[in-house]
Structure 1
Amino acid sequence: MHPSQITEWKRQLQERAADVFSTAGTPSSEPPVDLKALHVKISQLTLENDFLEGALPKAGLLSAKR
């Protein structure tokens, strides 16, 4: 790290530190990511994994579990 970079970061922190903590008491009503979409994706991947775990032995391939 170059000393001038650290000095710049320190200056930015001093100027904006209040902004970082100004919204701490007001939580957002919506999460930063779409939880419903993530749950759908997790369900899809779980279903695919379960299917493939059953299909591999039937196809005569190696087991998915190592």
Structure 2
Amino acid sequence: MRRKRRNHSPEFKAKVALAALQGDLTMAELVKKFDVHANQIADWKKQLLSNASDVFGKGAQKAEQSAETIEQLHAKIGQLTMENDFLERGLERIHGPRGKQ
């Protein structure tokens, strides 16, 4: 019988990848300990090695950029809300309160 698909948290993936990098345990021992396939452990280890530089460099810049983007989007939402309210009031003046139907 096939096992139900599992979704692992980023914390668990990092823990397994770090254990694989340490080299204290063999791949077979890691598989048994964490109950994850060897190919998955190898993939997570490769991902950790390839993205390790982002932790100290680009990760902080991405957070700042996303904060700026969120701020701009909030401003745009406010502007569009004001425009919508203005146009709604104009429509009520032309057609009366029942004109919105």
TM range (shorter): 0.3 to 0.5
* Higher helix proportion: 2
Q: TM-score w.r.t. structure 1 length? A: 0.46
Greater relative contact order, per chain length (Cα 8 Å cut-off, separation 6+): 2
Structure of higher CA gyration radius = 2
Q: TM-score w.r.t. structure 2 length? A: 0.35
